[in-house]
Amino acid sequence: MKIILALIMLSFVLTGVMMGGLGGGGNNAAEVNGQPISREQLQQAFQQERQSLQEYLGDKFAEVASNEESMNMLRRQALDNLINNQLINQYANELSLSASDKQIEQAIFAMPVFQTNGTFDSDKYRQLLSQYNINADDFAAQIRQDLTRAQLAKSFTGTDFALPSEVKAYAELFMQERDIRTAILPLAQVQAKQTVTDDELKAYYDANQNSFISPEKVQVSYVVMDAAAMPKATVTNEEVKTHYEQNLKNYTQAEQKHYSMIQVASEKEAKEITSQLKNGADFVALAAEKSTDKFSAGNKGAIGWMEAASTPSEIISANLTEKGQVSEPIKAQDNFVIFRLDDIKPEATKPFEQVKENIEVSLLQDKNIKQFYDLQQKVSEAATNDNESLISVENVSGLKVVTTDWFDRNNPPAELNFPKVINEIFSDRLVDKNGSTGINSDVINVEGDRAFVVRVAQYKAETTEPFETVKSDIEALVKRQKADAQLKADGDKLVTELKAGKGDEALNAAGIKFTDAQKVSRLMPQTAIINAAMEMAQPVDGKATYATVRDEQDNLVIIQLDKVTLGQPTEEELSQLTREYQGAMSAAVNEALMLNLRSNAKIEVQNLE
């Protein structure tokens, strides 16, 4: 989990760096106190939010992604986050908060994603920055910004934010126990005694006809293609060998060279270092002492292995060909750099036996994919050329046509229950105001390497159910409403009599009694009864208090609260609750700060539709 979180954190940081360089005066999504947030920034943030949501939802993401309102909401959330970040950065600048170069270096060195076996790996660092096309200075600036914002958060919620007395009081309340007894008025018994007339039922039907609409329904014929059910492809040793020989470049590691460097600000200093190196000075020692590039300096000057294709032009211009060879000073932007060629790995081709198994797996996968694709092509052509039925599809595929019972959009058969399939079945292509259009769908691909061709065999339009059809359902609804009203009245009456000291007589008349006393607390699994009991007013002078609540079966429960005992937390529990209390208070303060910053800011948001 720590590794995953580190990767997610890094992706956000890198996205932040990439967004930092984007702009475009007239192309803004918003302005925060005059500072722009470009549409490109918003798109980057939206894609990041979208990717995180997709990783979290997995297969269910497609359904959310197809909903335009959900995607608009996600875009608004991304913009809100950008606005909040801008406000926090501005506020930190007002307070003159900052982070030192040493703090930035330590923060980057401590990132697990840049480490190998717990140690900072400059090769990984450069590789990831190169992968995201990030300049090291921009990355350091983003880390400085993040550290500054962390300082701001800490300044409001330091370790002394919660007083011991506050935490103790919070713990005593949180861990308190309550002695309660309960009596139940069962809904089912009251409902069974209710009577209704036909006039009442008809009146309910007339007033609530929208509740008795039968949705449009279809019967569907379909063919399903499942890649997992198809015969598996095979490959011969000759095919594997031929592929290897024809693609040797894919199994060849190009020549690699390992370089180190010393970077300084002036040409004069660079020439002085070059002279020292020629006189036998130690390159590593000079790199650590003199180099202004802190990351390579901290790694003995090393900048890692490089292939010719990925080697920067400055190093290429040094024309280093032998191990240990040191370049003359080379200008790189505003600095001067001395490079050293540390080592050379010659070009090497992996032997056939070493890659044979991987090639075989790849070829099998390609063949299986092609086999499934070819089947879809045949089925698509058959469904298009013969639109009168799925018989041609059945003949060319060898798959059986399945016909469903009647179903509506919200209750499809399990095998067809994919948003893309259901949307196609109820689309204008397959049904219209006259019913089924009588044509076949095209191939519909869904997750899990499955595909469908469907046609609507029969169609029923949306209609209001006749009164006689739903009469029994209405009877149950009306009886339930009457029972609910009677339960509430009975419960209120009982509570009034209990408070007046006539409890035993009232309970006997109702045919119920209280259970034995039981202790409840917030530390127990929460139920409606426990939640209600914990919210009740405390007994005064030993006089019980009363409340009513519905349980999970909608029975009416009368709660008698007899006693409240404050919690007695241990030192360990106090320590744990201190962290929780501080976290809650920290979140509250941060939320209050953000609300205050927003209320005092000038925020202009453009139309993003």
Residue 164: pLDDT band with limits 50, 70, 90? confident
Round to whole Å and give the CA distance between 82 and 43. Answer: 11
Whether residue 453 has pLDDT greater than 90: yes
State in words which class domain 214-233+362-464 has. Answer: alpha beta
* Closest among 147, 165, 53 to 100, alpha carbons compared: 147
Round to whole Å and give the CA distance between 354 and 364. Answer: 18
Round to whole Å and give the CA distance between 582 and 499. Answer: 40
Whether residue 9 has pLDDT greater than 70: no
Domain layout of the chain by residue ranges: 177-194+471-565, 214-233+362-464, 255-346
Between helices 198-207 and 467-499, what is the axis angle to 10°?
100
The separation between CA 211 and the C-alpha centre of its own chain, rounded to angstroms, equals 36
Please give the pLDDT value at position 156. 64
Q: What is the pLDDT of residues 371-424, one digit of tens each?
A: 999 999 999 999 999 999 999 999 999 999 999 999 999 899 999 999 999 999
Specify whether the CB–CB gap between 545 and 539 falls below 8 A: yes
Specify whether the CB–CB gap between 378 and 296 falls below 8 A: no
Question: Residue 166 carries which DSSP code?
Answer: H
Please give the pLDDT value at position 17. 39
DSSP of 404-451: ---EETTS--GGG--HHHHHHHTSTTTEETTEE-------EEETTTEE
Please give the pLDDT value at position 105. 87
Give the pair of three-digit tokens for residue 204.
Answer: 């309910």
Tell me if the domain spanning 255-346 has CATH number 3.10.50.40. yes
Q: What is the pLDDT of residues 557-587, one digit of tens each?
A: 999 999 999 988 888 888 877 777 777 777 7
Average pLDDT value over all residues in the chain = 87
Specify whether the CB–CB gap between 22 and 133 falls below 8 A: no
